[in-house]
Structure 1
Amino acid sequence: MDKNSRYTVDSSILFRQWLNDTREMVQDTIFHSRIQKKNNNHLVSQRVFFEQNAHSHYFSYRNNKNLFKENPVSYIRHQSLYNVLKNLKKGRYNPDISIDLHGLTQHQAQQALGELITTCQKEKIFCAHIMHGHGKHILKKQTPFWLSQHPDIIAFHEAPKFFGSDAAIIVIIEINSLKKNINIFN
């Protein structure tokens, strides 16, 4: 053990003698300015924001309380699409996307619904699940009213118990490819 400790003491003395004539190096760091890259992400985000806002402009703030008093809430855009509503009531459509409106203001909820419709049309998703909750019944009453005003909503109905019962809605959204061939729902 003495040999090992002596060896380290001797080596540290040699190291100090060897570095005795050295001096500290001056750091000459050069800071380069960052080059601003032009990218199209800003333009893409503006376009997406515009599309989402365009869908939320269909929703008005006027309150028509007599429109959706029946329970369960249901809506079809045209009587020729009654089979879609019938299949929706039977639970034959499983939603591929879901949105939760809990804790949102009416304006935020309208924007979120606009984003949902935009996303569904881009991703070719025709069935969506909207959780509005019970709360003070503000969003519960307004959400069906807003959805009935939008031209791309084919039908909606109160969600089955598994998806939230009367605190949620299952929506069928018209997609551009479905506008040409509506018989896909039969």
Structure 2
Amino acid sequence: MLKEEIELFREAIKGAKELKQNTVVAPRGKNLKKKLMIRDVREQEDTLFFFSDEYEPLLNDESAVKYLREGEDKHLLKQLRRGDFSPEIFLDLHGLTREESKAELAALIRACEKEHIYCASIMTGYGTFTLKRQIPRWLVQHPRVRALHQAPKEWGGEAAILILLDT
């Protein structure tokens, strides 16, 4: 039966030309680092897109800084205020300009997303209160921010903000 199959095969390919491999296929370029850098820059630009300086959310400037995304459990704010969530990552913005702070904030959110971090602490300091007022206004615009609250004393008190993220 094997001989019959071979004969049948030869009959089927009768008149076919033999191919010669005389070309070399170049290996794919190693642009992985460049692609990763471009992707990181695009992700940062995408994240910075959410931080508008003109947007004025309804935040009470006189009381503790707090925000809860629509549809979230109101108990989250109480948990943040009490310190039930421990921040897994800290960002210190002391001495940075508004633009530097905005870029660092975007990088923090991106890092939290990549590392699956749910709670972060942002140290704004006291200073001129510029960052302390602006940081919450930026954060409430980002779709990954579920809630934010002024940190309890053990995580920085009035000079820090705890944020809870979707990741």
TM-score range, shorter chain: 0.7 to 0.9
Unaligned runs of 5+ in 2: 1-28
- SS, match of residue 150 in structure 1: coil
> Identity of paired residues, percent?
40
1:94 and 2:86 aligned: yes
CA distance in 1, matches of 2:88, 2:155: 12
> Structure 1: where are the runs of 5+ without partners?
1-36, 176-186
Aligned to 1:55: 47
Runs of 4 or more consecutive aligned structure 1 residues displaced over 3 Å after TM superposition: 63-66
- Does the 8 Å contact 2:59/2:65 carry over to 1? no
CA distance in 1, matches of 2:92, 2:72: 30
Give per-residue Cα distances to partners, 1:56-105, cap 9 Å, x unaligned: 11111126497331321111002542122121111110000111111111
TM-score normalised by structure 1 residue count = 0.70
- Code of the aligned partner of 1:44: L
Residues 140 and 167, structure 1, Cα contact 8 Å, conserved in 2 = yes
Cα distance in 1 between the residues matched to 2:98 and 2:136 = 13
Q: Shift of the alpha carbon at 1:125?
A: 0.4
2:108 is equivalent to residue 116 of structure 1: yes
What secondary structure sits across from 1:171 in the alignment?
strand
Who wins on radius of gyration, i.e. which is larger? 1
* Structure 1 vs Structure 2 CA RMSD: 1.8
- Helix, strand or coil at the partner of 1:113: helix
Secondary structure of 2:140 counterpart: helix
Alpha-carbon contact 2:89-2:120 (below 8 Å) kept: yes
Corresponding pairs, count: 139
Aligned to 1:8: none
User: 1:110 aligns to what SS in structure 2?
Assistant: helix
Name the CA distance, whole Å, in 2 between partners of 1:66 and 1:134.
Answer: 22
Match of 1:131 among 123, 132, 152: 123
Alignment of 1:146-157 (within 5 A): 146-157=138-149
Supply the AA of the counterpart residue of 2:34: H
Q: TM-score, normalised by structure 2?
A: 0.77
- 1:141 deviates by 0.5
One-letter amino acid of the structure 1 residue matched with residue 160 of structure 2: A
Q: Which residue identity does 2:95 align to in structure 1?
A: G
Task: Name the SS for the 1:149 alignment partner.
Answer: coil
CA distance in 1, matches of 2:126, 2:153: 14
Q: Distance in 1 between matches of 2:163 and 2:154?
A: 15
Equivalences for residues 3-82 of structure 1 within 5 A: 38-62=30-54, 64=56, 67-82=59-74
- Find the partner of 1:141 among 108, 133, 137: 133
Q: Whose helix proportion is higher, 1 or 2?
A: 1
Give the corresponding residue for 1:7: none
